[in-house]
Amino acid sequence: MDKGLTPYLLVIGPVLMFIAFMTGPDDVSGQEYIDYLKDTDMNTMIIGTILVTVGAIMMFGGWFVLTQDMMPKSNKTQRDLLMLSRVALILPITLLLLATGMDMEAHWLVTEGEDDLTVEEEEAIALQNREVSTYFWGTMPITWALGLILIGVAALMGNQKDKHSEQWVFAGPLVTGLGLISAYWIEEAWLFFIVAIIISLPIGIMMLMGKLDYLYSD
């Protein structure tokens, strides 16, 4: 059965995002961030930006095309939930790419600079960019979590669970979404960010194995 790009996006996207996050800058600020920018080659920044951009588009895009695949077999309530999940997932990908772009701009300011700015002014702007991009993460847990929760709820509302126990794999994004929201109260909940990145992997793998064909046919 032709599943299109859906399972490949769900599998490859998280892998690229995980690599991008692991090779990106640590949670540094102030002079440490300026030193990081000065010590990082432009090609490294460009490759990191490409990884994040392509990975984010593939990862969030995987959820988008999955919800599209689920639409024909869903009732009106499920379709509404899936549409709302798409709206919720637009913000985190937008904020993520904006933050990545601001890091690139900060790197250019520190290493190349503007002719009409002093070194101190360039570094101050770079630090301001860093602070603003950090603030972007403030709402990401809510919107990202909401998108995952809505997809999980819509999938588990289906009446195929008795016939197809594989449907319970969609409890993954539901639980992960709830865990993401807990990040506001539980310090260790940052682990759910990692889980949120890779939670589409089991769904994509099961699709490749033909375990979720009920999404496309009776």
Residue boundaries of the structural domains of the chain: 6-215
CB 74, CB 158: distance < 8 Å: yes
Please tell me which residue, 128 or 7, carries the higher pLDDT value.
7
Please tell me which residue, 128 or 54, carries the higher pLDDT value.
54
pLDDT at 126 > cutoff 90:
no
Q: Checking phi first, is residue 164 left (phi over 0); if not, alpha (psi -120 to 50) or beta?
A: beta
Q: Where are the beta strands (DSSP E) in 22-148?
A: none
**pLDDT for 25:** 62
CB 114, CB 122: distance < 8 Å: yes
Cα angle 59, 63, 66 (rounded to 5 degrees) comes to 130
Section 113-124 average pLDDT: 74
pLDDT at 166 > cutoff 80:
no
Distance CA 198, CA 111 (A): 34
pLDDT per residue over 144-156, tens digit each? 999 999 999 998 8
**pLDDT for 29:** 67
Distance CA 24, CA 17 (A): 10
pTM: 0.85
- Residue 211's SS3 state is coil
pLDDT at 188 > cutoff 80:
no
Section 13-32 average pLDDT: 77
pLDDT per residue over 24-65, tens digit each? 666 666 777 788 778 778 888 888 888 889 999 999 999 999
